[in-house]
Chains A and B, each alone.
Chain A
Amino acid sequence: MAEPSAASDLKRTPLHDLHVRLGARMVPFAGYAMPVQFPAGIIKEHLHTRASAGLFDVSHMGQVALRACSGHVADAARALETLVPGDMLGLAPGRQRYTLLTNEHGGALDDLMVSNHGDRLMLVVNAARKAFDEAHLRERLADRCVIEPLLDRALVALQGPAAETVLARLAPGVRTMRFMDVRAMTLVDAICFVSRSGYTGEDGFEISVPAPAAVTLCEALLRDPAVAPIGLGARDSLRLEAGLCLYGADLDETTTPVEAALEWTLPKVRRTGGARAGGFAGADTVLDQLARGATRRRVGLRPEGRVPVRGGAPLFETEPSAAPLGVVTSGGFGVSLNAPVAMGYVPPGAATPGTRLFSEVRGKRLAVTVADLPFVPARYKR
């Protein structure tokens, strides 16, 4: 198997030494040394998260504060709306929203979370895109906003049905938070930003913590027997079961929010006829696709049998078809389902759940069925 690149080149999160102490297998990811799994292994870590509470280090992701030069967060929101199709102006203080940065063709530059902290917006962006995103934000918004990467903060996620009970021991107030709420609160004597959200489909929290307090916070959480450390391997199998996109696989610069089946990120106010219709990069293309349809659509796929079908595999209409009609963009093993699952793009005509298509693995054609997403129902506390 391939050996990891020289460890000395890789960046480290504030939790690196803790991971090593816990027996993590560290691998390179987006320029960081990250834990792909702990001694429990991916399957146990995945199942533990859905049954109890998993603790993930996601400090490699970018946390960026966006402030308007005017000092009014509404102006930061208006500025951001030139870059995203979402409703940022209507995002109330203490609330978070998922959206996408788009390019001039309506394709995704990144997917991200945006939260309103009263005097500023906070963005959480993908690790592999954070340098690009920061340059993009500066290039477009530096005339009216200050873009500040928060390099001194770690980010951890506590996900699973026990997450609320666990976190409430440190901060009882979290019990009153509902899905996509954001609050500043003191945990382990440090000012943290806690959102009730995540990337697993489970109830849970993402916690931005000052780097010097990150280990203390994680050790406090890990002392709870309900909590286990979880690596990136299980993070991927969990999000895949939840039908959530991975930028660079299911989303890229060629996929629009409509093609990606993310029309819900386009609220009425930003659509044709809305008070702030369009006005974001690629809006013409996206709004046209909303009106007239797109030529492809992201769907869930359930391989028949047990062979996993992975990203990059072609999709065919029939078993002997010569030319593919689509492609698998993410695939692997749905641990909670005990079955392989995948996502891919197909023409709208083939996108109806129940449609039987074929993929190809190691030269052999395998049947797959188009399926609704998510594969595992979400358990958000709305």
Chain B
Amino acid sequence: MLKYTKDHEWLRLDGDVATVGITPHAQEQLGDLVFVELPAVGARFDKGAVAATVESVKAASEVYAPVGGEIVAVNDKLAADPGLVNAAPTGNGWLFKLKVKDAGEAATLLDEAAYQKLSAAEASN
């Protein structure tokens, strides 16, 4: 089950390791990605810190750590194929995995319904 942030990241928690990516809505808004900058394994981020950057043809966008933790894995397929994020944003296009410092932070994230509502509200503005 996915949780979401208001900045269009998703998170899937498996024990204390969270897989993080950007949502289908986000990849659609960004358009074709041409470059993804991922953090180093071992890097530590607080919740809300900039953990990665995704670049479309036109512009760069920051990806924030939805919860605080330490990077334990990054998706090394994205260097050669950044378009994976567009094609499979919640599957093979995942960005990084981090070991969650404080499980309580995940509890404040949005569930599917709340995230869909937020995206719809943004789209209609």
Contacts and interface: CB of A to CB of B under 8 A. Distances in A.
A236 interface: yes
B31 A233 contact: yes
Contact of B61 (A1, A310, A335): A1
A44 B31 CA distance: 11
A125 to B, nearest CB: 24
A368 to B, nearest CB: 15
A63 to B, nearest CB: 27
A333 interface: yes
Contact of A306 (B32, B35, B58, B86): B35
A43 B34 CA distance: 9
A237 B37 contact: no
Contacts of B79: 306
Contact of A42 (B37, B55, B57): B57
A332 B58 contact: yes
Contacts of A362: 37, 53, 60
Contacts of A249: none
A310 B58 CA distance: 9
Interface residues of B, number: 20
Nearest to A4: B125
Contacts of B86: 41
Main secondary structure, interface of B, reads mixed
Interface string A1-12: 101000000000
Contacts, number: 52
B57 to A, nearest CB: 5
Nearest to B50: A362
Contacts of A340: 34-35
Interface string A283-294: 000000000000
Contacts of B29: 1
A42 B31 contact: yes
B61 A332 contact: no
A37 interface: yes
A234 B30 CA distance: 14
B57 A237 contact: yes
Most A-side CB within 10 Å, residue of B30, B55, B59: B55
Nearest to B83: A43
Interface of A: 1, 3, 36-37, 41-44, 46, 233-234, 236-237, 306-308, 310, 332-333, 335, 340, 362
Interface of B: 29-32, 34-35, 37, 53, 55-61, 79, 83, 86, 122, 125
